[in-house]
Structures are given as structure tokens and as C-alpha cells.
A and B are shown apart, each in its own frame.
Chain A
Amino acid sequence: GENVEQHPSTLSVQEGDSAVIKCTYSDSASNYFPWYKQELGKRPQLIIDIRSNVGEKKDQRIAVTLNKTAKHFSLHITETQPEDSAVYFCAANGDSSYKLIFGSGTRLLVRP
């Protein structure tokens, strides 16, 4: 089955700097890769996703890149703000049309 590894487990950046979180997956059948943000004590929320037919997707300060050959994908946050502080989870779907396998999460702290 699919296995998703996420790094780093914690990341501290200065406000205004960029943050990059990386994930690798094992199942070459995966074709859907979402990223979720979970603020402390709150529910996870989808922030961006990418499908395997594209290599990059951007939404304002957030971008995701996908390298299918290497089986890794990354979340990039530019011009970080304190409100970006949260735990971020990546996920991949393996050969499923509905089931997601999640990474273990990255705790991002943006220092004012």
C-alpha cells in the first residue's frame, strides 16, 4: 500500500521568509496530492492540491510542486505571516479513488 513520508517535522521561519515542506510517496499509482492546514485545536482544512497531470500549481502565496519520477511533492509558502503558523499535512491516494494516506505532519512556526 501507499506510504507517505513528510519532512521536516518542525519548521521555524522568520516572518516574510519562505517555508518549504517536502513529502515522498511510494505508490506510483498515486495521482492526487492534497495539502491540509490544521491550526491548533481546529479541524484540518484543504489549502491546495495537485494532480499528477501537472507539475506545479500556485494559489497566491502557496504553491505545490510534484516530481512523479522521484515520487516527491513539496509545499512552498512565500512571504510567510504569523497566521501561517499551523500543522501542515500532505497526503496521497495510492490506487484509491477516495482514500488518502497522510504524512505525519509539519509544525510550522512563523516568528514575528
Chain B
Amino acid sequence: GAGVSQSPSNKVTEKGKDVELRCDPISGHTALYWYRQRLGQGLEFLIYFQGNSAPDKSGLPSDRFSAERTGESVSTLTIQRTQQEDSAVYLCASSEGQGFSYEQYFGPGTRLTVT
């Protein structure tokens, strides 16, 4: 079946502009994660959605970052007033449920470049 998809695959934006990144999880997956991966670094947890529960936003680096998810479907990550340090690959992952019995399946990522 279809895997996790993300769009756009690449985004170049000017400093100060807002950007919106999209993630389509695997159908039926209730859990959805967003990560940031800076060049040469590991994955940094940003936010977690599980079903209709309140999301865990503890990884969002500033109030310029926000994310939404409608039910158990598409999620969008919004970065307002982008800064150069926001340049990174933003990865989305989904899993069938909460907990590590369920593997996280990653999308291909969105490469964001802030000029």
C-alpha cells in the first residue's frame, strides 16, 4: 500500500515568510510524528499526535512553529516568520498506534531552505 507522503519535497523561502508543510500518513495509522533533521544531525522530535488526544507539542522549538492534524488524516506543520536556522529536512512518521510495539514509518521529508 501507499506509504507516508510529504509535500512539497523541497521548499526555498525567504527569511520572514511563513511556510506550510504537509504530511499524509498511512491510512489507518492513528499516531503521527513530526521531526526536524538538521544537516549532519540526528532526528529532533517536534510534535506527536495520537487519535483525538491532545498533541504533545513539547518538542516545538518556538512559538513560530505550530502543527495541526484533522482526525487521523493529514497533518500540516506551519513555521511562521522563518529564520535561517529553520533550514532543515522536516520528516513526518506515522504508526498504527501508541507505543513502541508499533513501528514508525517515515515519509521522504521536506527539505526547507531559508535564504
Contacts and interface: CB of A to CB of B under 8 A. Distances in A.
A97 B43 contact: no
A44 B107 CA distance: 8
Contact of B42 (A43, A93, A97, A102): A102
A43 B44 contact: no
Contacts of A44: 43, 91, 106
A101 B100 contact: no
16 contacts: A43-B106, A44-B43, A44-B106, A46-B104, A49-B100, A91-B42, A93-B100, A97-B98, A98-B98, A99-B45, A99-B48, A101-B45, A102-B44, A103-B42, A104-B40, A104-B41
Contact of B109 (A4, A32, A43, A101): A43
B103 interface: yes
Interface residues on A, range: 20 to 34
Nearest to A101: B45
| Candidate in B4, B31, B45, B59 with the most chain A CB atoms within 10 angstroms | B45
A42 B108 contact: yes
B102 to A, nearest CB: 9
The 10 closest A-B pairs by CB, nearest first: A102-B42, A43-B106, A102-B43, A32-B100, A104-B42, A44-B106, A98-B98, A43-B108, A97-B99, A105-B42
Given A44-B91, A45-B106, A89 B99 contact: no
A43 B103 contact: no
B14 interface: no
Interface in B19-78: 31, 40-45, 48, 50, 56, 58-59
A100 B98 CA distance: 12
B40 A34 contact: no
A101 B43 CA distance: 8
Nearest to B97: A98
B103 A46 contact: yes
B107 to A, nearest CB: 6
Given A44-B91, A98-B98, 10 more contacts: A43-B4, A43-B91, A43-B106, A43-B108, A44-B43, A44-B106, A46-B103, A46-B104, A89-B43, A98-B31
